[in-house]
């Protein structure tokens, strides 16, 4: 027996709630209301049938709260004393994560949430674990709402690539080429090669002189060490001069030493690195380009290779490693990939230049 599905509506703002009322709604069946202050909508709520509704972290007056619960709806209360909204209905952006940066990085939401996550790890508090899981579920939900009108191409690489270097410039040009080819650039969201790819995507509509100017300004602060604040501020200044769509980034507070870059237009930041990695690689249906990196990049290579190895042509995606000597000698990943591909048709490629890489996923 197949149960009938109930269409649901995600409501993430008071304006959306009011539009549904104005359209003549009489029941809230299937409504999923996230983090909306409804203290002035008690009369409207009690005029609607609540059966099948869900309120996540909303602010409700006592009468409205009782009406929903007694009528068959679910109310998940806000979790107090958190530096984040566990039920948030949208992704982050750099302005939110770095709010208050002028007072130092430690004053920003990004830093405060990371400090909270470290306390969670140390204490093993179940309520904290639940809050983090609820947050990551909300982020995953918000990520599915992004447009999928163009293929997503992942760009992976090390966080240690410095601004002002040839490797950084190459990653910028790769991100710009992919964006100009109609691809959505998605990265792990950190500094180095990841930042460069998001920056490149944001510069897709600019000429080479603008790229040179942006790179020259950023080179004055080559790394997030010793000062995340100075590094992020330099990025914000460049972003202000050259606004553009920098694509998507999917970072994690698990790697709290890697601050999120400011050039991605949408930031899906997770607590769970395992979930973040799975989402990051799973969304890159257009292929993944691997620039030079260390353990994290190697992990991402083989995490993506596994479904390619066991999948079929319909589910496989091209995996492109950039840097022949690096991936055959310094970190000999390529010989192992070749051995795996010997009896499995996998779309794996080793190229020398970012132009070759872009051509394989464009």
Q: What local confidence, expressed as pLDDT, does residue 6 receive?
A: 61
In a domain, 355, yes or no: yes
CA-nearest of 99, 237, 97 to 163 is 237
Task: For residue 137, tell me if it sits in a domain.
Answer: no
Please give the tally of structural domains in the chain. Answer: 2
Tell which of 22, 51, 76 closes a domain: 76
- 343 in a structural domain: yes
Residue range 44-79, pLDDT digits in tens: 999 999 999 999 999 999 999 999 999 999 999 988
What distance in Å separates the CA atoms of residue 204 and residue 207, rounded to the nearest whole number?
8
Which residues, in sequence order, are CB contacts of 212 under 8 Å at separation 6+?
Answer: none
Nearest to 30 by CA among 58, 72, 90: 72
Which candidate, 279, 360, 296, places its Cα nearest to that of 331?
296
User: Same domain for 224 and 339?
Assistant: yes
Cα separation of 228 and 29, whole Å? 46
Residues 185 and 62 in one domain: no
Judgement on whether residues 36 and 164 belong to the same structural domain of the protein: no
Range of the domain at 216: 152-361
- pLDDT single digits (tens) 71-114: 999 999 988 889 999 999 999 999 999 999 999 999 999 999 99
In this structure, what are the phi and psi dihedrals at residue 300, rounded to the nearest 5 degrees?
A: -65, -30
Instruction: Out of 48, 76, 104, pick the residue that ends a domain.
Output: 76
User: What's the CATH code of the domain at 214?
Assistant: 3.40.50.450
- Say if 106 falls within a structural domain: no
CB 79 within 8 A of CB 127: yes
pLDDT digits (tens, 9 = 90+) for 209-222: 999 999 999 999 99
Torsion from C-alpha of 146, 202, 193, 91, nearest 10 degrees: -30
Q: How many helices (H) and strands (E) does the chain have?
A: 15, 11
Q: What is residue 3's predicted lDDT score, i.e. its pLDDT?
A: 44
> Do residues 219 and 325 both lie within one domain?
yes
Instruction: Out of 76, 107, 128, pick the residue that ends a domain.
Output: 76
pLDDT in tens, 225-279: 999 999 999 999 999 999 999 999 999 999 988 999 999 999 999 999 999 999 9
Residue 197 lies in a domain: yes
| Structural domain includes residue 341 | yes
Give, for 273, the enclosing helix (H) or strand (E).
Answer: helix 273-283
In a domain, 3, yes or no: no
> Do 156 and 71 share a structural domain?
no
- More confident site: 128 or 47: 47
Tokens standing for residue 324: 């022949």
Are 72 and 163 members of one domain? no
Q: Within this chain, do residues 70 and 160 fall inside the same structural domain, yes or no?
A: no
**Which two structure tokens, joined as six digits, stand for 195?**
């930042």
Rounded percentage of the chain residues whose pLDDT exceeds 90: 88
One-letter-per-residue 3-state SS of 198-233: HHHHHCCCCCHHHHHHHHHHHHCCCCCCCCHHHHHH
Report if residue 110 sits inside a domain.
no
Do 51 and 176 fall within a single domain? no
């Amino acid at each position: 027996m197949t149960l009938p599905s109930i269409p649901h509506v995600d409501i993430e703002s008071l304006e959306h709630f009011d539009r549904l009322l104005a359209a003549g709604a009489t029941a809230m069946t299937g409504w999923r209301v996230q983090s909306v202050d409804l203290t002035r909508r008690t009369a409207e709520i009690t005029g609607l049938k609540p059966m099948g509704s869900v309120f996540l972290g909303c602010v409700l007056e006592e009468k409205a709260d009782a009406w929903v619960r007694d009528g068959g709806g679910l109310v998940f209360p806000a979790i107090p004393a958190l530096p984040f909204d566990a039920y948030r209905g949208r992704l982050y952006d750099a302005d939110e994560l770095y709010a208050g940066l002028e007072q130092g990085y430690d004053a920003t939401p990004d830093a405060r949430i990371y400090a909270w996550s470290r306390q969670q790890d140390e204490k093993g508090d179940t309520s904290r674990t639940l809050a983090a899981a609820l947050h990551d579920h909300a982020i995953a939900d918000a990520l599915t709402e992004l447009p999928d009108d163009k293929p997503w191409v992942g760009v992976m690489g090390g966080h240690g690539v410095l601004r002002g270097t040839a490797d950084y410039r190459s990653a910028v040009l790769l991100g710009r080429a992919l964006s100009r080819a109609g691809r959505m650039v998605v990265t792990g969201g950190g500094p180095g090669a990841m930042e460069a790819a998001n920056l490149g995507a944001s510069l897709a509509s600019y000429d080479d002189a603008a790229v040179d100017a942006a790179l020259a300004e950023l080179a004055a602060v080559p790394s997030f060490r010793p000062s995340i604040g100075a590094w992020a501020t330099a990025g914000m200044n460049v972003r202000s001069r050259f606004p553009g769509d920098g694509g998507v980034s999917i970072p994690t507070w698990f790697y709290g030493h890697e601050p999120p870059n400011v050039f991605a237009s949408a930031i899906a930041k997770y607590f769970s690195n395992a979930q973040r990695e799975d989402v990051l690689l799973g969304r890159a249906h257009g292929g993944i380009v691997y620039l030079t990196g260390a353990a994290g990049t190697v992990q991402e290579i083989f995490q993506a290779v596994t479904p390619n190895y066991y999948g079929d042509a319909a589910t496989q995606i091209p995996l492109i490693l950039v840097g022949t000597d690096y991936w055959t000698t310094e970190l000999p990943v390529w010989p192992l990939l070749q051995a795996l591909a010997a009896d499995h048709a996998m779309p794996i490629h080793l190229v020398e230049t970012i132009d070759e890489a872009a051509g394989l996923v464009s």
